[in-house]
Amino acid sequence: MGFSRGSIRALATGGFTAFSRSLDGFVDLVRFMGRSDLAGLTGLVIVIATGLIAATISLWPLPNPNSMDYPMNQPPSLNHLFGTDRYGRDVLSRVLWGARVSLSVGLAAAFSAALLGTILGVVAGVYGERVDAAISRVIEVFLMMPTFFLALLIAAVTRPNIYNLIFVVAVTSWPTVARVVRGQVLSLKEMQYVEASRALGASDRFIMIKHILPQVVPLTLSYTVLLVSNAMLLEAGLSYLGLGDPNYPSWGRMIYEGQQLIFTAWWVSVFPGAFLTLTVLGWNLLGDSLSRYLNPRRRTL
């Protein structure tokens, strides 16, 4: 059975309401960070800075990241602030362009995984019984296998490009979100206002859209932020092993290319490694702060 026009309107209204609440709470979040969570504020600054770099890098007067027109393995200097690699490419240009690649993969994979995990988690929690059992078994199968090993298996049979990389990371990341969302939905189903709505004849679909989804969105948001850092690390790991897209500069691949030169040309791997570490740290700090902000009981921890 398809969604009725009223259900679609209710879904749009519920989603817009949840988005508006999240947007309105951004100022409060920043104030909370400024008052009692400087680590979270630091993470927010890092995330915004790397995001601006990724969004505007094409406007910067930098060499082509794939150009091999410079002397090989040159140390940092005024002409090449981060030096050059063994192919004569400018490391600074590749590191900054790598921010766009890593963030693009991380954000796309994290939001895809969060969307899929939220939908399946909500459906499993609301409908229960056979639907819940079937979805729960699928979640358990995915969680039984190590995430990186599963990603390796999928990446090994797909063509190495950025879109397949996003697919691999998303497919291996959604079960955690689905499990957490399902638990939250099962808890919300016992709330009095949900039981009252059901007693008045509301359908499971109406309860899911009107009462459950707006309450689950904040939880999903905090997990999505944490998923970004996990997705970036997974992308870096796959690229390090040569399973990334060779046409785009990636921090993981740069670290791999520089590992054999660590004692003679340390800058080739140290700078991308430092940027990867700093960016992942920023997303983790922001995600943890957002989790504390959305859960008042954790604010005193």
CATH code of 88's domain? 1.10.3720.10
State mean pLDDT over 229-245: 86
Angstrom distance (rounded) from CA 12 to CA 244: 37
Q: Please, what is the average pLDDT of the chain?
A: 82
Domain of residue 67 covers 5-298
Q: What pLDDT was estimated at residue 219?
A: 80
Q: What pLDDT was estimated at residue 39?
A: 83
End-to-end, the C-alpha distance of the chain in Å comes to 47
pLDDT tens for each residue of 61-98: 888 998 888 889 899 999 899 999 989 999 999 999 99
Angstrom distance (rounded) from CA 121 to CA 136: 9
Beta-carbon contacts of 232 under 8 Å, excluding residues fewer than 6 positions away, are: 102, 103, 105, 106, 276, 279, 280, 283
Q: Is residue 3 predicted with pLDDT exceeding 60?
A: no
Q: What pLDDT was estimated at residue 163?
A: 85
Q: Is residue 54 predicted with pLDDT exceeding 80?
A: yes
Q: Is residue 7 predicted with pLDDT exceeding 80?
A: no
Angstrom distance (rounded) from CA 195 to CA 301: 33
> In the beta sheet, which residues pair with residue 84?
90
pLDDT tens for each residue of 154-200: 877 777 778 888 888 888 889 988 998 998 888 887 777 777 877 77
Angle between helix axes 251-258 and 213-240 (nearest 10 degrees) is 30
Q: How many residues does the chain have?
A: 301
Angstrom distance (rounded) from CA 82 to CA 76: 5
Q: Please count the structural domains in the chain.
A: 1
Band of residue 108 on the pLDDT scale cut at 50, 70, 90: very high
Beta-carbon contacts of 240 under 8 Å, excluding residues fewer than 6 positions away, are: 252, 253, 255, 256
Q: Are 123 and 135 in contact (CB under 8 A)?
A: yes
Q: Residue 232: exposed, middle, or buried by beta-carbon count in 10 A (0-12, 13-18, 19+)? A: buried
Q: Residue 4: exposed, middle, or buried by beta-carbon count in 10 A (0-12, 13-18, 19+)? A: exposed
Angstrom distance (rounded) from CA 270 to CA 275: 9
Band of residue 56 on the pLDDT scale cut at 50, 70, 90: very high
Q: What percent of the chain is modeled with pLDDT above 70?
A: 86
